[in-house]
């Protein structure tokens, strides 16, 4: 979708991408609706965030829009505060991945203040059109099927929508209603790109123990 080969910027990133991550980035740039799948620790969110930041710094897009479902398996009670404050606990992993790739918290904060990076509640997606941007929907396995349809319908011109998820981490009470189960219907469409990450970027014991526990 974007001609990113000859576009440069002077931004220094904190880490370099692995070959698997670079290939995923290439597929994202060429995609429209991109679904990144993988077990815990395979850098799904990191790949999405790093690609989005790079495209923004290279002025290929105008902004980054980020959301995720606020589903939890624990009862945390009523969360006080503004919408942004209510969303904050669920955005910690995304902010952490941003800082891992681009370790300049002050600059990232300023980008949010200038709405180059916009945090949007999923409930506020409806009725909006996102043009010339990268939309990241993290933990999309916790969207239900109707929310997936709603999110897809928000994509505007010159934009890419990235969904990150893992079927082993579905927290919905009705497992069968997870958006991730809809991939079988759309996987062969020309506008759909599915990326499966396999490299473990956490402790080497994580993958081994999770495999023993099963899904």
- E strand residue ranges, the chain: 33-37, 63-67, 117-119, 133-137, 160-165, 192-196
Cα–Cα distance measured from residue 181 to residue 89, given in angstroms and rounded to the nearest whole number = 26
pLDDT of residue 8: 62
CA-nearest of 38, 66, 68, 69 to 51 is: 66
Q: Which CATH superfamily is domain 19-213 in?
A: P-loop containing nucleotide triphosphate hydrolases (3.40.50.300)
Instruction: Tell me the pLDDT tens digit for each residue of 47-88.
Output: 999 999 999 999 999 999 999 887 654 344 455 666 666 667
Instruction: Tell me the pLDDT tens digit for each residue of 147-188.
Output: 999 999 999 999 999 999 999 888 888 888 899 999 999 999
Q: Are 157 and 132 contacting, i.e. CB atoms less than 8 angstroms apart?
A: yes
Burial class from Cβ neighbours inside 10 Å (0-12, 13-18, 19+) for residue 185 reads: exposed
């Amino acid at each position: 979708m974007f001609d990113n080969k000859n576009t440069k910027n002077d931004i220094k990133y904190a880490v370099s991408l692995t070959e698997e991550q670079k290939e995923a980035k290439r597929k994202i740039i060429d995609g429209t609706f991109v679904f990144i799948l993988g077990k815990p620790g395979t850098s799904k969110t990191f790949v999405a965030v790093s690609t989005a930041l790079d495209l923004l710094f290279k002025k290929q897009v105008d902004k980054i829009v980020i959301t995720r479902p606020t589903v939890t398996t624990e009862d945390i009670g009523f969360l006080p505060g503004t919408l942004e404050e209510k969303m904050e606990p669920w955005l910690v992993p995304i902010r952490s991945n941003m800082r891992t790739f681009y370790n300049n918290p002050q600059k990232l904060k300023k980008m949010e203040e200038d709405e180059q990076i916009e945090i949007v509640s999923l409930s506020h997606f409806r009725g909006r059109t996102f043009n010339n941007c990268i939309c990241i929907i993290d933990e999309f396995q916790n969207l239900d099927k109707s929310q997936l349809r709603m999110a897809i319908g928000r994509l505007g011109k010159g934009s890419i929508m990235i969904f990150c998820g893992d079927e082993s981490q579905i927290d919905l009470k009705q497992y069968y209603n997870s958006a991730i189960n809809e991939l079988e219907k759309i996987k062969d469409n020309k506008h759909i790109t599915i990326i499966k990450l396999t490299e473990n970027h956490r402790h080497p014991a994580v993958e081994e123990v999770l495999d023993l526990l099963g899904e």
